[in-house]
């Protein structure tokens, strides 16, 4: 079964390459009964600009973008089995975690959260995930 590229108009398409060239990244790929979602950040889907400096707003926008890509791939947060989070500043973890918990509303996932430097200036949180489709 070949991989299927998934695209959502409700989430931004970005890439770290020259803006005049198409991004080499897919928002998500379906393969082998799974949906692999690329790292999403706090970008407005229309403007592709960072929504705010506030970690609460950034986390919520990132999770909404992730949910939009999942939906385009035929999945929901309930089907997510694993998430990886990168926080620019680990001191943001308590606030990030509060927003995450509220957004997930009881849905259980496995998750790794690390401190690091997302590739785009102003992006303070990035999240990717894997969802089970069968």
The span from the CA of 25 to the CA of 18, in Å, is: 13
The span from the CA of 9 to the CA of 102, in Å, is: 25
Residues 67/68/74/75 CA torsion (nearest 10 deg): 0
| Domain enclosing residue 14, as ranges | 4-132
The span from the CA of 117 to the CA of 134, in Å, is: 34
pTM of the shown model: 0.93
Number of H helices, E strands in the chain: 2, 6
Given the DSSP bridges, would you call strands 80-87 and 125-132 parallel, antiparallel or unpaired?
antiparallel
Q: What is the pLDDT of residues 27-71, one digit of tens each?
A: 999 999 999 999 999 999 998 899 999 999 999 999 999 999 999
pLDDT at 105 exceeding the cut of 90: yes
CATH of the domain at 56: 3.30.1330.40
Element (H, E) at 72: helix 55-72
What's the structural domain count of the chain? 1
Query: pLDDT band at 12, cuts 50/70/90?
Result: confident
């Amino acid at each position: 079964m070949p991989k299927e590229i998934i695209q959502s108009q409700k989430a931004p398409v970005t890439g770290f390459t020259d803006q005049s060239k198409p991004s080499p990244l897919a928002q998500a790929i379906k393969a082998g009964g799974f949906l692999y979602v690329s790292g999403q950040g706090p970008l407005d889907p229309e403007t592709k600009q960072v929504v705010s400096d506030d970690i609460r707003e950034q986390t919520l926008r990132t999770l909404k973008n992730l949910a939009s890509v999942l939906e385009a791939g035929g999945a929901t947060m309930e089907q997510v089995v694993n998430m990886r989070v990168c926080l620019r500043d680990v001191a943001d973890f308590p606030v990030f975690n509060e927003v995450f918990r509220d957004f997930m509303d009881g849905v259980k996932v496995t998750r790794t959260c690390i401190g690091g430097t997302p590739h785009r200036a102003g992006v303070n949180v990035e999240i990717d995930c894997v969802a089970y489709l069968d």
